[in-house]
């Protein structure tokens, strides 16, 4: 397995198979052990025959410094036993999301000099250190080991299951390669290194006797275990996040390799081979110690991109003609990820690749092998591949990759452990609740955030805040100025929420229409005092809306806390009254530490209004999870329409927004008047005193004989299902939209999108490529574009394909949460430093 490369992963739901298993057990009256299976703080009175809910589990990992191949396995083991305690030699994680924010008990190496960066140098001390972990209070010990974790001390009444990524490679069959690459082939240092490795081997063999059951990540590693420890191992392949990779049928004319640039990965050989094939293009993604060596070998047909975020890696994997892999890996996660994209693999024919790639001897091949780690052998394999492109099917590649899903790993590993622990037999695999990647749950002593929002409804701003809160919930408190569905959603996410009485501020509107000044000030100060009291236990106030920003600024002054405003509006006279704009200018001058804008359009308008410092305004595009949309991908559209009581055969154009004049629903109604085959579906309710506009829309429908072709669905919780029922998603705002969340949601729902050309919308849609644009308020132009879409199936399919790619690559939740979190951290750190 690759223990070096660290890649971000996307949020993913539990699989249908896992959910079905869990639901069936629940309906039968079984008790799912997700919470009670492991109870830290309670010692089992008697291990033998005791009820499963008293079983205590410890999970031991070698070291926690990054998120790579071994840590992906650890993540899923923790998901199987969410109440377990976690141990490691050292813990220097920044992103703690994959271990669900668990505290980690470490060894004395944690406190040794330069341990954060030089922990590997303490290899001679690692056997001693791992044996100092006291696990005597646990019934089950699970070690995740590629170095020394399997050497923990356990007693005769404890069950020790060891998932072995590999016996210590540099101490066994790869010792001579390790010494050569480390330039330790001769001299006193070489002698010392060989002596240490000899000692490690002896210790490694001896400690294997304390393991009750071995699990290996491949048959290749199982053979190593048999050779080294003289023990058999069950093979459970490591989890691959195949759900984060979508199949892509249309391949482009380039090859891809991606890896950390270290010697054993042999990236230099791949680059050297392609330098001798100038007619073939190679893209290289990754960074590491060998970067300069590899750059020196690159020819003009080789593009070396360096480190790239996950979205870029996934995009290139999906589009590549083939993925080239030259390492002898224990397993090789990237090989499976490529196949999950429908991309065949050209791989070195040793190690784990032999178990994950089906070569030309198979009736449904997913790649082919080369026999030697030489440039000539790679060239021959590439030429062989290019000569028979029709032999490889993207669908076959994807089907092969799905054998290695994370859900299957959890089911198999949980069953393996339960079969060896009598007290766990008959228990159920806990339902999977995926952690948010990139938004690490930190210890309580680090960043603490007070999020403030004025609304209890689930509008776009609240849905965007919900993504942040779910990811940072262990470090975040929330204050609302009104109760409603948003508070319910926060409760479900397990987030502490306080609802304050908004008083007269509830009647304030962007365009003025405020309550009497005295009543308003009294209500504001009441909110300020209550917010300041809660801010004192936090490091930063994070205001999500304009009214909450004003309260936050005043509360920040009282509590001496910095305030960050997440600006989700275009602050102009088109959206705000004169008094509100003056208040925003005052707050920016006297109380705001930083501003996060949801688009460049929002940022420009704010800076133009306030002259706020450019370096304190940052754009972070809203992030929207693809999970609820992907979950409905295979549900027939007719089923969704039947569920919503919509006509089955009509051409449905959906509008998704609260009913408000500036949102422009009337423009859509005007556009369909002369198009009898089209229906308009309005999803959303009148909020914030806009009932008169809804009445106007309904009167328009009656007046123009549209009663049978306009469907008012009101507020809907399941936006994904509603969008899936549409033929087109229309976004018709008549004034500039700050961002346009609905546009991204429409793209994720795989529906063509038409939007008004203004504001942040133009930062999402490129006209004719991933969506269509028309002038704001122009019903005739909107009608023309709708007719164009209805009559041009090819255009619809093109917009859907490119739109979905835009949404997942540029507006995913990982980059969004990480961007907001990093800004909050910097602001809080700056305040502390000051």
Provide CATH code, domain 16-238+407-424. 3.40.50.2000
**Which among 722, 744, 723 has a CA at the least distance from the CA of 804?**
744
Question: How far does CA 38 lie from the centroid of its chain?
Answer: 27
Lowest mean pLDDT segment, chosen from 25-39, 103-117, 390-404, 441-455: 25-39
Lowest mean pLDDT segment, chosen from 35-39, 391-395, 727-731: 35-39
What's 708's DSSP letter?
Answer: G
> pLDDT tens digits, residue range 713-735?
998 888 999 999 999 999 999 99
**Which among 431, 394, 422 has a CA at the least distance from the CA of 320?**
394
* pLDDT for 704: 96
Question: How far does CA 466 lie from the centroid of its chain?
Answer: 15
Q: Considering the chain, what is the average pLDDT of its residues?
A: 86
Q: 327 Cβ partners below 8 Å, 6+ apart?
A: 259, 264, 265, 266, 348, 351
3-state secondary structure string across 7-22: CCCCCCCCCHHHHHHH
CA–CA gap between residue 520 and residue 504 (Å, rounded): 5
* pLDDT for 14: 38
* pLDDT for 375: 96
Tokens describing residue 188: 């006193």
Which residues are registered as beta bridge partners of 617? 595
* pLDDT for 517: 61
Exposed/middle/buried for residue 381 (C-beta within 10 Å: 0-12, 13-18, 19+): buried
What's 590's DSSP letter?
Answer: H
CA–CA gap between residue 182 and residue 360 (Å, rounded): 38
Q: What is the mean pLDDT of residues 682-707?
A: 91
What's 737's DSSP letter?
Answer: B
- Residues carrying CATH 3.40.50.2000, the chain: 16-238+407-424, 242-404, 449-623+819-833, 627-811
* pLDDT for 287: 80
Say if CB 446 and CB 540 are below 8 A apart.
no
Say if CB 233 and CB 225 are below 8 A apart.
yes
C-alpha angle 334-403-351 in degrees, rounded to nearest 5: 50
Lowest mean pLDDT segment, chosen from 55-64, 217-226, 487-496: 487-496
pLDDT of 4 strictly over 60 = no
Q: What is the mean pLDDT of residues 17-45?
A: 36
**Which among 427, 409, 420, 438 has a CA at the least distance from the CA of 79?**
409
Q: Percentage of residues in the chain with pLDDT exceeding 70? A: 89
> pLDDT tens digits, residue range 629-667?
988 888 899 999 998 999 999 999 999 998 999 999 999
**Which among 107, 62, 330, 362 has a CA at the least distance from the CA of 222?**
330
Handedness of CA 523, 526, 532, 535 (dihedral sign): negative
State the CB neighbour count (10 A cutoff) for residue 109.
Answer: 20
CA–CA gap between residue 665 and residue 797 (Å, rounded): 25
> pLDDT tens digits, residue range 407-427?
899 999 999 999 999 999 888
Q: Which comes out higher in pLDDT, residue 299 or 28?
A: 299
CA–CA gap between residue 757 and residue 777 (Å, rounded): 10
Q: Which comes out higher in pLDDT, residue 61 or 760?
A: 61
Provide CATH code, domain 449-623+819-833. 3.40.50.2000
Q: What is the mean pLDDT of residues 559-571?
A: 94
* pLDDT for 560: 93
β pairing state of 367-370 and 345-348: parallel
pLDDT of 120 strictly over 80 = yes
Q: Percentage of residues in the chain with pLDDT exceeding 90? A: 57
* pLDDT for 775: 95
* pLDDT for 508: 55
Q: What is the mean pLDDT of residues 199-226?
A: 92
Q: What are phi and psi of 83, to 5 degrees?
A: -95, 5
Q: DSSP 3-state helix, strand, coil percentages of the chain (rounded to 5)?
A: 45, 15, 40
Say if CB 382 and CB 405 are below 8 A apart.
no
- Kindly indicate the confidence band of residue 36, based on its pLDDT and cuts at 50, 70 and 90: very low
The DSSP secondary structure of 30-65, one letter per residue, reads ----TTTT--TT---S-STT--GGG--EEEEES-BS
Q: Residue for token digits 């309550």?
A: 515
Q: What is the mean pLDDT of residues 433-456?
A: 67
* pLDDT for 330: 78
Q: Residue for token digits 């030089």?
A: 118
Exposed/middle/buried for residue 114 (C-beta within 10 Å: 0-12, 13-18, 19+): exposed
H or E stretch at 449: strand 449-453
**Highest mean pLDDT out of 716-720, 742-746, 759-763, 808-812:** 742-746
Question: How far does CA 130 lie from the centroid of its chain?
Answer: 32
Q: What is the mean pLDDT of residues 90-116?
A: 90
Q: Is 306 left (phi over 0), alpha (psi -120 to 50) or beta?
A: left
Q: What is the mean pLDDT of residues 161-166?
A: 94
Handedness of CA 510, 511, 512, 514 (dihedral sign): negative
Tokens describing residue 574: 């088109």
Question: How far does CA 260 lie from the centroid of its chain?
Answer: 21
CA–CA gap between residue 101 and residue 95 (Å, rounded): 9
Say if CB 394 and CB 44 are below 8 A apart.
no
Lowest mean pLDDT segment, chosen from 433-447, 467-481, 684-698: 433-447
> pLDDT tens digits, residue range 329-362?
878 889 999 999 999 999 999 988 998 999 999 9
> pLDDT tens digits, residue range 462-478?
989 998 988 887 788 89
What's 436's DSSP letter?
Answer: P
Exposed/middle/buried for residue 195 (C-beta within 10 Å: 0-12, 13-18, 19+): exposed
pLDDT of 27 strictly over 70 = no
The total number of residues written for the chain in this structure: 834
- Kindly indicate the confidence band of residue 812, based on its pLDDT and cuts at 50, 70 and 90: confident
Which residues are registered as beta bridge partners of 767? 771
The DSSP secondary structure of 343-355, one letter per residue, reads --EEEESSTTHHH
Does residue 799 sit in helix, strand or coil?
A: helix
Tokens describing residue 573: 């006279």
Does residue 776 sit in helix, strand or coil?
A: coil
Decide yes or no: CATH 3.40.50.2000 for domain 627-811.
Answer: yes
Rg (alpha carbons) of the chain, rounded to whole number: 29
- Kindly indicate the confidence band of residue 181, based on its pLDDT and cuts at 50, 70 and 90: low
* pLDDT for 504: 54
CA–CA gap between residue 732 and residue 662 (Å, rounded): 9
Q: What is the mean pLDDT of residues 772-776?
A: 96
CA–CA gap between residue 162 and residue 216 (Å, rounded): 8
Q: Is 342 left (phi over 0), alpha (psi -120 to 50) or beta?
A: left
**Which among 635, 587, 578 has a CA at the least distance from the CA of 749?**
635
* pLDDT for 163: 97
Tokens describing residue 378: 């790679």
> pLDDT tens digits, residue range 571-594?
988 878 888 899 999 999 999 999
**Which among 741, 561, 727 has a CA at the least distance from the CA of 658?**
741
CA–CA gap between residue 151 and residue 211 (Å, rounded): 8
* pLDDT for 126: 94
| pTM, rounded to two decimals | 0.48
- Kindly indicate the confidence band of residue 614, based on its pLDDT and cuts at 50, 70 and 90: confident
**Which among 361, 371, 368 has a CA at the least distance from the CA of 328?**
371
Strand intervals (E) in 263-399: 282-285, 302-306, 322-325, 345-348, 367-370
What's 317's DSSP letter?
Answer: H
pLDDT of 443 strictly over 70 = no
Q: 571 Cβ partners below 8 Å, 6+ apart?
A: 581, 584, 602, 605, 606, 609, 610
CATH tag for 242-404 (out of 3.40.50.2000, 1.20.120.430, 3.40.50.300, 3.10.450.50): 3.40.50.2000
State the CB neighbour count (10 A cutoff) for residue 506.
Answer: 14
Exposed/middle/buried for residue 452 (C-beta within 10 Å: 0-12, 13-18, 19+): buried
Q: How far apart are the first and last CA of the chain?
A: 45
* pLDDT for 523: 82
**Which among 387, 317, 377 has a CA at the least distance from the CA of 345?**
317
Exposed/middle/buried for residue 467 (C-beta within 10 Å: 0-12, 13-18, 19+): buried
CA–CA gap between residue 381 and residue 346 (Å, rounded): 7
Q: 778 Cβ partners below 8 Å, 6+ apart?
A: 667
CA–CA gap between residue 164 and residue 330 (Å, rounded): 10
Handedness of CA 179, 182, 186, 192 (dihedral sign): negative
CA–CA gap between residue 258 and residue 270 (Å, rounded): 11
């Amino acid at each position: 397995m690759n223990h070096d490369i660290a890649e971000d992963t996307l949020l993913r739901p539990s699989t249908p198979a896992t959910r079905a298993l869990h639901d069936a057990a629940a309906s039968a009256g079984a008790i799912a052990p997700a919470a009670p299976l492991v109870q830290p703080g309670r010692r089992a009175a008697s291990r033998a025959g005791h009820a499963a809910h008293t079983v205590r589990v410890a999970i031991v990992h070698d070291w926690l410094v990054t998120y790579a191949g071994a840590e992906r396995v650890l993540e899923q083991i923790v998901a199987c036993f969410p109440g377990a305690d976690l141990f490691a030699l050292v813990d220097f994680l920044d992103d703690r999301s994959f271990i669900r924010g668990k505290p980690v008990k470490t060894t004395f190496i944690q406190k040794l000099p330069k341990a954060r960066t030089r922990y590997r140098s303490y290899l001679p001390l690692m056997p001693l250190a791992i044996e100092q972990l006291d696990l005597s209070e646990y019934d089950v010990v699970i070690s995740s080991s590629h170095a020394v974790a399997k050497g923990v001390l356990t007693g005769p009444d404890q069950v020790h299951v060891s998932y072995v990524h590999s016996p210590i490679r540099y101490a066994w069959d790869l010792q001579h390669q390790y010494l050569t690459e480390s330039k330790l082939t001769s001299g006193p240092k070489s002698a010392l290194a060989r002596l240490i490795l000899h000692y490690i081997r002896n210790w490694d063999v001896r400690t294997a006797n304390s393991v009750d059951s071995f699990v290996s990540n491949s048959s290749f590693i199982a053979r190593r275990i048999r050779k080294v420890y003289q023990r058999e191992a069950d093979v459970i392949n490591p989890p691959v996040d195949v759900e984060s990779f979508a199949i892509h049928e249309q391949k482009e004319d380039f090859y891809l390799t991606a890896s950390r640039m270290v010697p054993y990965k042999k990236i230099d050989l791949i680059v050297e081979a392609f330098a001798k094939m100038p007619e073939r293009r190679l893209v290289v993604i990754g960074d590491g110690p060998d970067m300069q060596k590899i750059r020196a070998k690159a020819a003009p047909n080789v593009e070396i991109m360096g480190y790239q975020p996950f979205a870029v890696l996934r995009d290139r994997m999906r589009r590549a003609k083939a993925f080239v892999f030259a390492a002898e890996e224990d397993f090789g996660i990237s090989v499976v990820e490529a196949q999950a994209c429908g991309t065949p693999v050209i791989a070195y024919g040793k190690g784990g690749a032999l178990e994950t790639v089906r070569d030309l001897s198979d009736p449904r091949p997913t790649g082919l092998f080369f026999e030697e780690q030489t440039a000539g052998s790679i060239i021959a394999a590439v030429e062989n591949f290019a000569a028979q492109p029709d032999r490889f099917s993207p669908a076959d590649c994807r089907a092969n990759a799905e054998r290695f899903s994370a859900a299957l790993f959890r089911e198999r590993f949980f069953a393996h452990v339960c079969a060896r622990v009598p007290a766990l037999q008959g228990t159920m695999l806990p339902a999977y609740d995926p952690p948010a990647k990139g938004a690490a749950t930190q210890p309580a002593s680090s960043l603490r955030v007070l999020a403030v929002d004025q609304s209890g409804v689930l509008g776009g701003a609240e849905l965007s805040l919900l993504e942040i809160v779910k990811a940072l919930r262990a470090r975040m408190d929330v204050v609302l100025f009104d109760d409603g569905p948003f508070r319910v959603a926060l409760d479900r996410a397990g987030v502490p929420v306080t609802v304050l009485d908004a008083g007269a501020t509830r009647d304030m509107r962007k365009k003025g229409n405020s309550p009497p000044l005295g009543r308003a000030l009294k209500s504001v100060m009441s909110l300020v005092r209550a917010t300041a009291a809660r801010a004192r236990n936090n490091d930063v106030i994070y205001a999500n809306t304009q009214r909450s920003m004003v309260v936050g600024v005043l509360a920040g002054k009282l509590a001496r806390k910095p305030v960050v405003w997440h600006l989700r509006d275009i602050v102009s006279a088109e959206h705000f009254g004169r008094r509100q704009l003056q208040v925003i200018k005052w707050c920016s001058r006297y109380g705001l530490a930083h501003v996060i804008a949801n688009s460049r359009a929002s940022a420009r308008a704010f800076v133009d209004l306030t002259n706020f410092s450019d370096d304190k305004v940052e754009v972070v595009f809203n992030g929207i999870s693809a999970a609820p949309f992907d979950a409905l991908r295979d549900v027939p559209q007719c089923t969704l329409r039947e569920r919503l009581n919509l006509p089955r055969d009509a051409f449905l154009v959906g509008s998704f927004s609260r009913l408000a004049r500036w949102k422009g629903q009337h423009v859509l109604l005007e556009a369909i008047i002369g198009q009898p085959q089209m229906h308009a579906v309005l999803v959303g309710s009148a909020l914030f005193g806009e009932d008169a506009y809804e009445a106007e829309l309904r009167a328009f429908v009656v007046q123009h004989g549209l009663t049978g072709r306009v469907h008012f669905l009101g507020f809907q919780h399941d936006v994904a299902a509603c969008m899936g029922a549409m033929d087109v998603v229309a976004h018709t705002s008549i004034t500039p939209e700050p961002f346009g969340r609905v546009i991204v949601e429409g793209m994720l729902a795989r529906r063509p999108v038409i939007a008004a050309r203004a504001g942040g919308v133009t930062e999402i849609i490129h006209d004719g490529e991933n969506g269509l644009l028309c002038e704001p308020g122009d019903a005739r132009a909107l009608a023309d574009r709708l007719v164009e879409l209805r009559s041009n199936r090819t255009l619809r399919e093109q917009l859907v394909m490119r739109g979905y790619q835009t949404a997942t690559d540029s507006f995913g939740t990982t980059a969004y949460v990480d961007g907001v979190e990093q800004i909050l951290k910097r602001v809080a750190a700056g305040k502390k430093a000051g």
